[in-house]
């Protein structure tokens, strides 16, 4: 039989477990985690597809119709992903991330086909 401090510890653990069991469906954390995991995977796939198109254009020094077709397919997929994104993203975070991208990839370094 449990006595003394053991009773207190088990009571606290039981109470915490009950609180987590109640809070889990209310907070829907698992839904958000699943959605963000899917978004991360899909955006990584999109990034790699665009990177492949870019590398091929640089290697061949041409913007071919196949590149345009591939880009349009990636763009359509990105539009589908938009519905999984946050409905009300944090504007301050967006501005910070945009600045990070501009710092990392200066506009002058971008190549534009003629």
Q: Is the dihedral of CA 60, 62, 67, 71 positive or negative?
A: positive
Residue-wise pLDDT tens digits, 54-102: 999 999 999 999 999 999 999 999 999 988 888 788 899 999 999 999 9
Do 69 and 49 touch, CB atoms closer than 8 A?
no
What mean pLDDT comes out for the span 21-48? 85
Q: Which of 22-32 are b and which e, b meaning 16 or more Cβ less than 10 Å from the residue's Cβ?
A: eeeeeeeeeee
Higher pLDDT pick, 2 / 41: 41
| pTM of structure | 0.59
Inter-helix orientation angle 29-60/5-27, to 10°: 60
* DSSP conformation class of 61: T
Higher pLDDT pick, 94 / 2: 94
Q: What single string gives the DSSP state of each residue in 20-56?
A: HHHHHHHHTHHHHHHHHHHHHHHHHHHHHHHHHHHHH
Do 39 and 84 touch, CB atoms closer than 8 A?
yes
Per-residue pLDDT at 2: 58
Closest to 49 in 3D by CA, of 18, 87, 76, 15: 76
């Amino acid at each position: 039989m449990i006595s003394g401090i053991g009773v207190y510890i088990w009571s606290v653990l039981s109470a915490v477990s009950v609180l987590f069991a109640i809070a889990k469906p209310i907070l829907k954390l698992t839904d958000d985690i699943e959605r963000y995991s899917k978004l991360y995977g899909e955006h990584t796939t999109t990034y790699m597809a665009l990177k492949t198109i870019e590398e091929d254009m640089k290697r061949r020094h041409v913007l071919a119709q196949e590149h345009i077709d591939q880009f349009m397919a990636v763009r359509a997929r990105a539009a589908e992903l938009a519905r999984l994104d946050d409905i009300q993203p944090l504007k301050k975070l967006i501005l910070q991330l945009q600045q990070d991208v501009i710092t990392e990839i200066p506009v002058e370094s971008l190549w534009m086909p003629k």
